[in-house]
Amino acid sequence: MKSNKQIEQAYRWARERFAAVGVDTEAALARLSGLRVSLHCWQGDDVRGFESAADAPGGGLAVTGAYPGRARTPEELRQDAEKAFSLIPGRHRFNLHAIYGEFGGRKVERNEIGVEHFRGWIEWARGLGLGLDFNPTCFAHPLASDGFTLSHPDRSVRRYWIEHCQRCREIGAAMGRALGTPAVTNVWIPDGMKDTPADRRGPRERLLESLDEVFRKPLPSRYNLDSVEGKLFGIGAESYTVGMHEFYLGYAVTRRKWLCLDAGHYHPTESLADKISSVLTYVPGILLHVSRGVRWDSDHVVILNDDLLAIAQELVRGRYLDRTRLGLDFFDASINRVAAWVIGARSFLRALLTALLEPWPEYQRLERAGDYTGRLAWMEEAKNLPYGAVWDYHCLRSGVPAGMAWLEEVREYERKVLSRRS
């Protein structure tokens, strides 16, 4: 492991290298320090939640693996998240689904949940200086067992899920009000069909009507930001997804809602990065759910690959960071769950730092001048810049382990805490 002195020496050299190409590393680090990544609660317990009958997630979701140490209570989940946050540079956010309320062992219908079930989460977040985000849970429930919720043909079932989503918006707004930072309340539903439908129109018209009812009550944007999320397909909805990307893009544009772009919710050959400038031409903001699909929407732990770097580059080069909320969305029960959070968050932050350190104004200057040869040459040469030395220094300055030193802390936490969970 590098010593602090070695990290500082390497950073001084890197700062000079970047300055030679017109990049201010201190400005990049200051910008990175202000970015907030929302860690997703469902990585810590395999999307089970804390309802009285918590079980496997359903709704087209599948978590593979049986690594020991899954969080079983809100207290354990908060403890695990705190450990992860302690190993990630910066101050961030935490993203909750509605099934993660503290219900005291009682059965509480989802259309009856309230902010009182999330007071513990709010106080925890306040103590750590975190923001919270929120999501209705329209899956893993008897009234979602046939694969339809807000687009259900039965009006009474639709009403149940409308009321659930309405209550979730109120909870999100209460979180934003209490913590002084608006919560993104993101609506995703699993509605769809396994085989070819005879009627594609009806469910989408019902979904449109339901969403309008969900969002009927205005809530202050300083407390709550409404977001909608599409998907390509799911397990049990391979042939038809009611809320596909085009549906929600149209909804977000016409209703002035934020649009959630999930990296796993498109065809494998589609580029999420390429969609960012397109949708932000029309919608007020985007929520990113950063994931990693392997052959399909498999929600693998995020790594610093070309896809992730392309997303970060588009956000920086297009100057979109101020209109974007950053979040993770994956679940892997085959490895240490705390490590999964840390690997994913640190990878995303490294991608963002790399994008902030690129001499991208020079790329754009050459492009505007029609010098595509120079643009390509600069883009390739920039790959040689010492990004890792700046990242290590950022970790050091943020008071978290640089390099691989964080892994031993996770392993020690596993020995002392996770291994004792039966």
pLDDT digits (tens, 9 = 90+) for 280-311: 999 999 999 999 999 988 899 999 999 999 99
Q: In the predicted model, is pLDDT for residue 62 greater than 90?
A: no
Q: In the predicted model, is pLDDT for residue 415 greater than 60?
A: yes
Q: In the predicted model, is pLDDT for residue 120 greater than 70?
A: yes
Q: In the predicted model, is pLDDT for residue 181 greater than 80?
A: yes
Tens of pLDDT along 128-162? 999 999 999 999 999 999 999 999 999 999 999 99
Percent of the residues in the chain that have a pLDDT greater than 70, as a whole number: 98
Strand partners, 259: 228, 286
Q: What is the mean pLDDT of the chain?
A: 96
Q: 1 pLDDT band (50/70/90 cuts)?
A: confident
Tens of pLDDT along 241-254? 999 999 999 999 99
Residues noted as catalytic? 188, 229, 231, 262, 265, 289, 297, 299, 329
Q: Given this model, what pLDDT does residue 201 score?
A: 98
Q: Given this model, what pLDDT does residue 191 score?
A: 98
Average pLDDT rounded to a whole number, residues 386-411: 98
pTM over 0.95: yes
Tens of pLDDT along 363-380? 999 999 999 999 999 999
Q: In the predicted model, is pLDDT for residue 411 greater than 90?
A: yes
Tens of pLDDT along 209-244? 999 999 999 999 999 999 999 999 988 999 999 999
Average pLDDT rounded to a whole number, residues 75-92: 98
Q: 59 pLDDT band (50/70/90 cuts)?
A: low
Q: 116 pLDDT band (50/70/90 cuts)?
A: very high
Q: In the predicted model, is pLDDT for residue 92 greater than 80?
A: yes
What SS3 string covers the chain? CCCHHHHHHHHHHHHHHHHHCCCCHHHHHHHHHCCCEEEEHHHCCCCCCCCCCCCCCECCECCCCCCCCCCCCHHHHHHHHHHHHCCCCCCCEEEEEHHHCCCCCCCCCHHHCCHHHHHHHHHHHHHHCCEEEEECCCCCCHHHCCCCCCCCCCHHHHHHHHHHHHHHHHHHHHHHHHHCCCEEEEECCCCEECCCCCCCHHHHHHHHHHHHHHCCCCCCCCCEEEEEECCCCECCECCEECCCHHHHHHHHHHHCCEEEEECCCCCCCCCHHHHHHHHCCCCCCEEEEECECCCCCCCECCCCCHHHHHHHHHHHHCCCHHHEEEEECCCCCCCCHHHHHHHHHHHHHHHHHHHHHCCHHHHHHHHHCCCHHHHHHHHHHHHHCCHHHHHHHHHHHHCCCCCCHHHHHHHHHHHHCHHHCC
Q: Given this model, what pLDDT does residue 85 score?
A: 98
Q: 53 pLDDT band (50/70/90 cuts)?
A: low
